[in-house]
Structure 1
């Protein structure tokens, strides 16, 4: 991809970018998902903006969060805090599985999950990674603007497929030890990833001891009833379902939920089956640890009252 042409902030137009005095701000506003509130970041410069065949893509440099990727008006990752989400969604299922050799990633165009999975390739645990991403423009742009994330899309252990993840799951006959769904929020094409039919497709592609995890798009503070409904859908398919939380400031309300599931009822997904010593944890991770694995599943009392009967914690 050729170098981006500099964009003049003063003449740039986007429905979520506004001038406030001599400053320019991005405001994430989603009346359905986040009613009555927004999340704002001050913009230092616009790096890239385009409409791909699938979504609106905006990349800007924030005054305090570094480079920021926005898809369809929703912040996907920032240089400052992306590692928290990438590490938790990756290492929770990997460390909750006794021998995760074969991994499937649905979505994940920013390639942060790939970066984390390669750590387990390097230590001899994971043998193969298949990543299915529908929008290759995201991958190309991230290699340019967030290269610390998009480093391993050409890794020899990675089979990168540019196609629809839902279609891939319908057609595949392979069985995976871990499936990670790193999708956009449930708007437009991504909405199908939040239906019971999608959980059924995940189960069909899962090995007997396999573990699936997906970002839930929702946390306990914003719309707990939506989250309850998502857990009901997961529970209709999987015998063992749990929910955990990732804390990072660039997601609306500072918290994002993950749904993790398996049909192996002997597993407590909140307890890692494999652990590293403290020195190795510090070398590999900035957010994840065995302790963080466990406490990520702890919910406040009021939320557990609403969600607890659907969970196996």
Structure 2
């Protein structure tokens, strides 16, 4: 709450010094400290409902679909048969909402450590939390690390929908975590996770990809536009255990009719391939 002054919320954080992103606040809907983090939900003037964790914007109603769709369909549409999916995190329900749209997905298991995020999202972000209503989804309130230790070669795709590598999410960017993902995947499994903006911390991105490459033979990086995030851009690390898979080429392509019926607003097969094109300075640094 101390980040709201004169009717504006400002995302001020030491991890991106010298800049901030601000939204004009219309109404505070929810503010509580859970066992893991500070949770704030407010109605903004122009971006709809906003979810903030530990002072960092997680999503706004205006543009959340870009992040949810890309994090979800980059791995799902690259897998030849993604029948069973694990979501780690994603307590707002947005990724679950998208995963169940894929016609090949039969079962979705989700593990979220903070039940209060789920409860707040169900009440104040129903346009995202409706993902939990699907009969395909089984939600467990527990630690993702502990869950995966007890599940081996079970999932076709694992999607990690985490906040930035601060606080409870910090361990989701380590080599140990990617080892757990590998063990929980079937032999041709694919993972995806967010790893930040090319404009904020390229060394962190490179280190994260190096951690992942110690367990996955194919690791790539894609981007999408998300205006409500600090630099208006977010990156997704996608990796597979199957060296024959070209992550840049979707093996499943939604028809125009499916795109309309499933209400996809950002993702399509052309965006899929184009999202893996890196600017020159990123290509030089990461390679």
TM-score (normalised: structure 2): 0.97
Aligned partners of 1:171, 1:89: CA distance in 2, in Å? 25
In the TM superposition, 1:13-52 aligns within 5 A as 14-19=1-6, 24-32=7-15, 34-52=16-34
State the shift of 1:174 in Å. Answer: 5.0
User: What residue is the counterpart of 1:168 in the other structure?
Assistant: 147
* Residue 144 (structure 1) aligned with residue 123 (structure 2): yes
In the TM superposition, 1:141-290 aligns within 5 A as 141-173=120-152, 175-216=154-195, 218-284=196-262, 285-290=264-269
1:133 to 112, 136, 156: 112
Alignment partner of 2:231: what SS? helix
Aligned-CA RMSD value: 1.1
State the shift of 1:192 in Å. Answer: 0.5
2:81 to 93, 99, 102: 99
Alignment partner of 2:101: what SS? helix
User: What residue is the counterpart of 2:60 in the other structure?
Assistant: 78
Deviation sequence 1:236-285 (CA, Å, 0-9, x none): 11100000012111011000111110121111101101112223223321
Aligned partners of 1:118, 1:189: CA distance in 2, in Å? 26
Moved over 6 A (4+): none
Instruction: Structure 1 unaligned segments of length 5 or more: list them.
Output: 1-13
Alignment partner of 1:252: what SS? coil
Aligned partners of 2:239, 2:67: CA distance in 1, in Å? 18
Alignment partner of 1:141: what SS? helix
**Which is worse superposed, 195-204 or 280-289?**
280-289
Aligned partners of 1:179, 1:78: CA distance in 2, in Å? 24
User: What residue is the counterpart of 1:61 in the other structure?
Assistant: 43
Aligned partners of 2:220, 2:163: CA distance in 1, in Å? 20
State the shift of 1:299 in Å. Answer: 1.1
Residues 290 and 95 of structure 1: CA distance in aligned 2, closer, same or farther (over 3 Å)? same
Q: Which has the larger radius of gyration?
A: 1
Check whether the contact 2:12–2:55 (CA below 8 A) recurs between aligned residues. Answer: yes
- Count of paired positions: 286
Alignment partner of 1:221: what SS? coil
State the shift of 1:127 in Å. Answer: 0.9
